[in-house]
Structure 1
């Protein structure tokens, strides 16, 4: 759905950064969180659960499993949106990172391909564009500006999924992105904004904005943020799954 979703969560919850097919680290981090906070801890994914890693289908199926348990939600993101377009038969440019997801999917038995295609298209159609939690935390894949919160539309969707770029690339091969958090003017009631998409070595905190994609697929770590405790929980990457070199 291209709409935002407001949630009232009265139990512990954690927000996990970009997973990118790192199923082993994802499962371990969820287990680590729930061991400490309880089995009904609510888990939120900032998206980009597929591409670049080695276990994309396992990651998708784990998301299905968590959602069926009733304590999980994922928001829309650029990589997952592109995968859905491919599943629908639309013409998309398949990068090396996405090729890993496509290859895993095509290696499945034909009957399972048909089932998974239908399941995933339906699953993603139910992912909200962004979340507003308890009126004091907003979760959006690439971030969101204050004047966009509580609104929808093509311009907002583009920002939420892709952020803003300069058209240039960094030394590591990432698109050079504009740091929209620097221009944020805080008010006493400004919500925390939690996002992924942009890779940092450590969680990036600026003007009550929290970037939590810490490059697990690149060999760093997967990060979870606990807003109510201002705390981060990490799971070290098993290996380097992907490189831009």
Structure 2
């Protein structure tokens, strides 16, 4: 049985990621981080945007995944950067502008290298991961029981964006149904996407996006122990970015 460390939405908070690795007992070897007990880090998407060091996060996660030292699934911000790289007509918003500003500072060769490696990472990554003999599923925004084992547009939309209604709230954010409140599946679902002030455990689901880029924490869930490592953010606290769910 493997032991996993699920790491929530990093959003360019590179220093907090390195601190998390150190606090969780990882050691730096050949420019990547490995755990002496062979624990496997699982990055659950949204590596970039809004934070100060998106490219450093992309490069580290890509390197660790290439060396089979980590697992990765994409988030909606990863998907948007990929669509930008392949030339789709997208709106530069939601934090993507911070990543593009970093990209503008690269030499043309460094830009091409990062673009190529990230596109390969994205293209070779599953939308969600079924781990530990199908006892735990990692999906960026979550996944309901009836979609596990399936693919297609409906699954892709849910995994990247959550159970969206198509409406927006007064802050311009997509309205999302609280799918975890009604989850009854046997598998543990580990997800992020929707920032919460502390890891949210409900109905065999765990939301570990504790809003690092909004001044909260960067959180890792240690499985199967079901314990956490939390690193305080260096970013200013933005209370209105955190969702408050009824428990």
TM-score normalized by structure 1? 0.88
TM-score (norm 2): 0.87
Offset of residue 64 of structure 1: 1.9
8 Å CA contact 1:50, 1:80 repeated in 2: yes
Residue in 2 aligned with 1:169? 169
Specify the SS of the correspondent of 1:200: coil
What is the aligned length?
232
Task: Choose from 69, 75, 82 the match for 1:71.
Answer: 69
User: Which of 17-26 and 88-97 deviates more?
Assistant: 88-97
Contact 1:142/1:162 (CA < 8 Å) preserved in 2? yes
* Correspondent of 1:49 among 43, 47, 50: 47
CA drift of 1:242 comes to 7.7
Deviations 1:8-52 (A, max 9, x none): xx3321001100000111121122223496263210011001101
The match for 2:59 among 55, 58, 61 is 61
CA distances 1:116-162 after superposition (whole Å, capped 9, x unpaired): 11111111111111000011000000100101111111111111111
The answer to whether the 8 Å contact 2:162/2:176 transfers is yes
How far apart, CA to CA, are the structure 2 residues paired with 1:157 and 1:230? 27
Where structure 2 has 5 or more consecutive residues not aligned to the other structure, the ranges are 28-34, 242-247
Matched, 1:93 2:91: yes
CA distance in 1, matches of 2:84, 2:193: 20
- Structure 1 unmatched ranges of 5 or more: 1-9
2:170 and 2:15 map into 1 onto residues whose CA distance is 29
State the distance in 1 between where 2:108 and 2:217 align. 34
Find the counterpart in structure 2 of residue 6 from structure 1. none
Q: Is the 8 A contact 2:216 2:237 kept in 1?
A: no
| Alignment partner of 1:197 is 2:197 | no
What is the root-mean-square deviation of aligned Cα atoms in Å?
2.1
User: 1:11 is matched with which residue?
Assistant: 2
